[in-house]
Structure 1
Amino acid sequence: MNRLTFSLLKSLLLASLAVCGSASAADVPRIASKADPAKGATLYDSGDAARGLPACMSCHGAAGNSTMVANPKLANQIEAYTYKQLVDFTTPQRQQPVMTTYSKMLTDDEKRHLAAYLAVQKAKPGAAKNKDTVELGRRIYRGGIAEKGVAACASCHGANAGGIPAQYPRLSGQHQDYTYAQLEAFKTGNRKNSAQMTTLAQRMSPEEMKAVSDYIAGLQ
């Protein structure tokens, strides 16, 4: 190989490496730091006043055990699910004035820290309140509504509504009002981040949604 050919090959190789290097830097996603429940606890309990971010506990209660029926209980929720919802609130798939605003203020790592913290909190039990509909709620949760093509809730959320990690959320003990509100949001299209739940909710009557929401509140 003469000197001119060698010099040309060397130049081409260096140019190739430069292009590959710049492409790799752009294409490789940032690896998130390990989720830290302790950091999540600080953010959950205290927020970040410098950024105007309030403490999560002001709406969702100490350790994720909300006492406000319009705000969900978050304690012991599946980590991957909580993280996904915090991400979804920043997209058109799930818009909610308060949560969309605050989720956009959180970094990706902070979302992960909060999800990790809530996942290890002990959930306080709830209770069904309407004795007249509890049997209907039980039938829907356990067996679905065959004539309407509504699958049993238990088939995805588990026999005791504990959820399935990374797939379906924990529902047990959740406030009746909140669960019903989410079913209604899926039905009307105000919440769009689960095609499966949208289909099922659209097949249910308000009475059926209320009955199963109440039944779920008593599961543990």
Structure 2
Amino acid sequence: MNRALFPSAVTAFVKSLIVLAIVAGTAQAQDAGHGAAAAPAAKVDPAKGATLYDSGDAARGLPACVSCHGAAGNSTIVANPKLSGQVSNYVYKQLVDFTGPNRVNPIMTAYSKMLTDDEKKNVAAYLASQVPKAGAARNKDTLETGRKIYRGGIADKGVAACASCHGAAGDGLPIQYPRLAGQHQDYTVAQLTTFRSGGRKNSAPMSTLAQRMSDDEMKAVADYIAGLK
């Protein structure tokens, strides 16, 4: 045996083992990653959302949404928004926003923090599937002013038409733009006022537009929105 060759052979053998170990470890890591990526996301369940909306969860101290927002989201309390037929992604986003600093409400912030992410999505999906009841405009003297603001904006103040984001019929668009049709006048005015004051900060465009509107303009467009179907 050529002893001079023995150390080289051992070294080559050890290097081979190291390479094989690295390859095997990389393959295992890739398999694990693929397995995690392939794990199915939890399916949104409107039925579970309905149960939580109607009954809450007494064991966790979660109140029933229906007590404030009405059966199927058709609130009869003018200070509380109608949620029936609302864009599901928008409701989910608001429930998430309530847990942060940009939208704060003593009741909704506490409630939202108790909900899991899946529960937020389930409640939002349930509400989106419900049929909203129509509202009605109350002030015929400002109806035309409200219509002009909603459909054409206020050009000299740089206020864009509400319809450009919320749709001609007030049906809204996913995530950013909520359904407005039939919403309580009082609630809409309250939100515009809160956007203007900086109390609500989860929509930069709405904050900017609200700062350019007078109280009378807010009331006029809110009344027009209430009558949209």
- Count residues in correspondence: 218
Specify the code of the residue in structure 2 equivalent to 1:180. Answer: V
Shift in Å at residue 8 of structure 1?
A: 2.1
Shift in Å at residue 166 of structure 1?
A: 3.3
Structure 2, unmatched stretches of 5+, are 1-10
* CA displacement 1:161-191 (0-9 Å, x = unmatched): 0112334110000000000111011111111
Match of 2:46 in 1: 37
RMSD between aligned residues: 2.2
Match of 2:18 in 1: 8
TM-score normalized by the length of structure 1 = 0.92
Shift in Å at residue 18 of structure 1?
A: 7.3
- Out of 73, 77, 80, the position equivalent to 1:68 is 77
Instruction: Please say if residues 73 and 175 of structure 1, whose CA atoms lie closer than 8 Å, have aligned partners that are also in contact.
Output: yes
- Give the alignment of 1:156-171 within 5 angstroms: 156-171=165-180
Match of 1:219 in 2: 228
Shift in Å at residue 9 of structure 1?
A: 1.7
Match of 1:56 in 2: 65
Question: Counterpart of 1:172 in 2: which secondary structure?
Answer: coil
Specify the code of the residue in structure 1 equivalent to 2:125. Answer: A
Query: Highest CA radius of gyration, 1 or 2?
Result: 2
Match of 1:128 in 2: 137
Match of 2:4 in 1: none
Shift in Å at residue 12 of structure 1?
A: 3.6
Match of 1:90 in 2: 99
Instruction: Please say if residues 153 and 159 of structure 2, whose CA atoms lie closer than 8 Å, have aligned partners that are also in contact.
Output: yes
Paired-residue identity, %: 66
- Which stretch has the larger CA shift, 5-14 or 87-96? 5-14
Following the alignment from structure 1 to structure 2, what is the Cα–Cα distance between the partners of residues 159 and 153?
Answer: 8
* CA displacement 1:107-163 (0-9 Å, x = unmatched): 000001000000010100101111121111111001100000000001111111011
Q: 1:92 to 1:60 in 2, by over 3 A?
A: same
Shift in Å at residue 16 of structure 1?
A: 5.2
Match of 2:186 in 1: 177
- Which stretch has the larger CA shift, 127-136 or 98-107? 127-136
Specify the code of the residue in structure 1 equivalent to 2:142. Answer: T
- Out of 136, 152, 157, the position equivalent to 1:148 is 157
Following the alignment from structure 2 to structure 1, what is the Cα–Cα distance between the partners of residues 188 and 217?
Answer: 12
Specify the code of the residue in structure 2 equivalent to 1:108. Answer: D
Instruction: Please say if residues 162 and 171 of structure 1, whose CA atoms lie closer than 8 Å, have aligned partners that are also in contact.
Output: yes
Question: Counterpart of 1:54 in 2: which secondary structure?
Answer: coil
TM-score normalized by the length of structure 2 = 0.88
Instruction: Please say if residues 36 and 116 of structure 1, whose CA atoms lie closer than 8 Å, have aligned partners that are also in contact.
Output: yes
Instruction: Please say if residues 32 and 109 of structure 1, whose CA atoms lie closer than 8 Å, have aligned partners that are also in contact.
Output: no
Instruction: Please say if residues 180 and 209 of structure 1, whose CA atoms lie closer than 8 Å, have aligned partners that are also in contact.
Output: yes
